Structure 1
Amino acid sequence: IKREKKEHNFLMPADLEKLENLKLPDRKNNSRHILDAFLFCCYCGLRFSDFKQLTYKNLVTVDGKEWLVLNSVKTGVKLNIPLYLLFNGKALGIMRKYDSIEQLAALGCNSDTNRTLQKLGRMAHIGKKFTYHTSRHTCATLLVHQGVPITTVQKLLGHTSVKTTEIYSEVFDETIIKDLTRANQKYSKRRNVKQNQIKSQKYPEKYLRQ
C-alpha cells in the first residue's frame, strides 16, 4: 500500500503580515495572547509542547544577546536558538510585550488554541487552514528560502535527521521568479562584457579615446 505523502502547511510572509496587522480589541484578550504566541513560534520554530514549558531559566544572555536554550520535550535534543538573529529578532519583540516569558507561554490546551487560530485566520482573510504546528513549518520553510543551509535549520529545529528538514525545501513561485530574474541579469551582464571586449578588439582606437 502506497502511503500518502504528509502535507506540511506553512504561511507565506504576506500571511504573517496580515496576522501581525490584525486589529483586535485593546482590552485584555485571550485571542491576542494566542496570536502573539503563534507568531513567536513562527519566528523561532518551537513545538507547542516546547513553547509551553518555557521559563526564565531558558533565556540565556551571551555577550549581551538573548538566546533560548532548552531540551525538546518530544526528542530530548538540546536546542540553542539565537532569538536576536532569527527574523531580525521578531520573537524577542513579541516576548517583550509580556511581563515574563512564563506569562507568554501560559496557553490553554492545543485544541482550544487551534480553534482560536482558525477564527483569527478567517478574520485576517487568510485562505488556508492552519494550526499551531504550522508555525514550526513556517519558520523552517522561510529560513530555507532565505538561504539558510539545511543543516543549520536542522539544528535550530532539533531534527535528528537532515532528511526531516529537507521536506521544507519546497519552491515558492516568487522564489522561482526571483532566481530566474537574477540569472537573467547575470547572463545579460556577461553578454554585455563579452560584446564590449569584442568591440574593443575590433575598434581599439575608439575605446582608447573614451
Structure 2
Amino acid sequence: KYNLSDISIKEITPMFITDFELYLRTTCKCGFNTTAKFMQFFKRIILIARNNGILIGDPFASYKIRLEKVDRGYLSEDEIKIILKKKMVSERLEQVRDVFIFSCFSGLAYVDVANLKEDNIRKSFDGNLWIITKRQKTNTDVNVPLLDIPKMILEKYKGKLPDGKVLPIISNQKLNAYLKEIADVCGIKKNLTFHCLRHTFATTTTLAKGVPIETVSKMLGHTNIETTQIYARITNNKISNDMQGLDKKFVGIEKIYKEVSMK
C-alpha cells in the first residue's frame, strides 16, 4: 500500500496503525489475540521512541489494544486418573504419558522439561528432593518440591537416558500429536496439549488442594500474580471445600435473626 521497504518512525500515523492491524488480521491471517500481541510490541517501540525524544506525539493515543478472554483447558483429577490407568498400546505413548503426567505434578513447560538434567534434581534445605532450575522463557528461578508421582517417573528412567537427561523427550510437535492420540484412547474430549499441563498443575494439582496462589505463582516461575490467575481456576469443588464450616462462624447472628423473626 505504501510502496516502501521501510518507513521512518516519525511517519507512523494512527491510520498506519489501524492499517497494520488490518494487514495482520487479513493478509497474515493472525487471530484476535495474536494480532493484539503484535500491536503491543509495536506500541512498545513507539514508547521507547517517545522516551528517547525521537517522537513528540503518540500515534497510539486513540488506539485501544484489547485481548479476548480465552478459557484454556486443564485436566480434572478424574481425567488424570483415567490417563494413568489406561494401558498404552506402545512404548512411545507410554513415555509421552509419563512426561505429561510428570509435568502435571511439577508445572514445568515443555522446554524446561526438555532441558531437565540430573543436576536439577537435588535435596534442598528440608532434606527433600526438589526441581531446581530456571525458566528458559523468562530466566526466573523455579524451585518445585518433587511429589511422589514425579519421583516414581524419574526413578523409572534413572540411568537409562543419555547426556544426563531424566525424561524421554521428543519434539514438542510430535509430543502434542501423541497427546491427542492419548486423549482419543482415553475418551477425553478436551484439546490435550503439553501446555495444558501448566494449567492442570495450577488448578487441579495445587490450587484445588489448598496451595496458596502466591506459592503456585512462584513454582510456575511467574513474575506476577496476574499471570498465574490466567492459569489457575477456582473450581466449584474448591469453593465448596472453602465454604464448609463457615455457617458455624455465624451462630451468634443466626440466633439474633431467630429471636427477631419469632417476635
Normalising TM by the smaller chain, what interval?
A: 0.7 to 0.9
- Residue number in structure 1 paired with 2:222: 159
| Segments ≥4 residues shifted beyond 3 Å | 100-104, 176-184
Q: In 2, Cα distance between the equivalents of 1:176 and 1:165?
A: 18
**Partner Cα distance (2:231, 2:170) in 1:** 28
Residues 1:13 and 2:72 aligned together: no
1:118 match? 180
Structure 1 equivalent of residue 190 of structure 2: 128
Take 1:52 and 1:41, find their aligned partners in 2: how far apart are those partners? 11
> Secondary structure of 1:68's partner?
strand
Deviations along 1:31-66, one digit per CA (max 9) or x if unpaired, are 100000000000000000000001111111235421
- Give the aligned partner of residue 68 of structure 1: 131
Give the direction of change, closer, same or farther, for the CA distance of 1:69–1:179 in structure 2 (3 Å limit): closer
**Per-residue deviation at 1:170?**
2.4
Residue 81 of structure 1 aligns with which residue?
A: 144
Q: 1:81 Cα shift? A: 1.2
2:62 is the alignment partner of 1:3: no
How far, CA to CA, are the matches of 1:81 and 1:171 in structure 2?
Answer: 22
Relative to structure 1, is the Cα distance of residues 73 and 168 closer, same or farther in structure 2, using a 3 angstrom cutoff?
closer
Secondary structure of the equivalent of 1:136?
helix
**Counterpart residue number, 2:202:** 140
Contact conserved, 1:53 with 1:105, CA < 8 A, in 2?
Answer: no
Give me the CA root mean square deviation: 2.5
**Contact 2:142–2:221 (8 Å) recurs in 1:** yes
Secondary structure at the aligned position of 1:171 is classed as coil
1:95 aligns with 2:188: no
Q: Distance in 2 between matches of 1:95 and 1:179?
A: 34
> Which runs of 5 or more structure 2 residues have no equivalent in the other structure?
1-64
Taking the aligned partners of 2:133 and 2:232, their CA distance within structure 1 comes to 26
The 8 Å contact of residues 145 and 169 in structure 1, kept in 2 or not, is answered as no
Give me the whole-angstrom Cα distance separating, in 1, the residues matched to 2:81 and 2:88.
15
1-side partners of 2:154 and 2:227: how far apart? 28
Show the 5 A alignment for 1:18-29.
Answer: 18-25=82-89, 29=91
TM-score by length of 1: 0.79
Identity of aligned residues (%): 31
Contact 1:10 / 1:134 at 8 angstroms: preserved in 2?
A: yes
Is contact 1:33–1:104 with CA below 8 Å preserved after alignment? Answer: no
Which structure has the bigger radius of gyration?
2
- The letter for the 1-side match of 2:229 is E
Structure 1 residues 11 and 98, CA gap change in structure 2 (3 angstroms): same
Higher relative contact order (CA 8 A, sep 6+): 1
Corresponding residue SS for 1:97:
helix
Measured after TM superposition, the shift of residue 105 of structure 1 is 2.6
* Cα contact 2:208–2:238 (8 A) shared by 1: yes
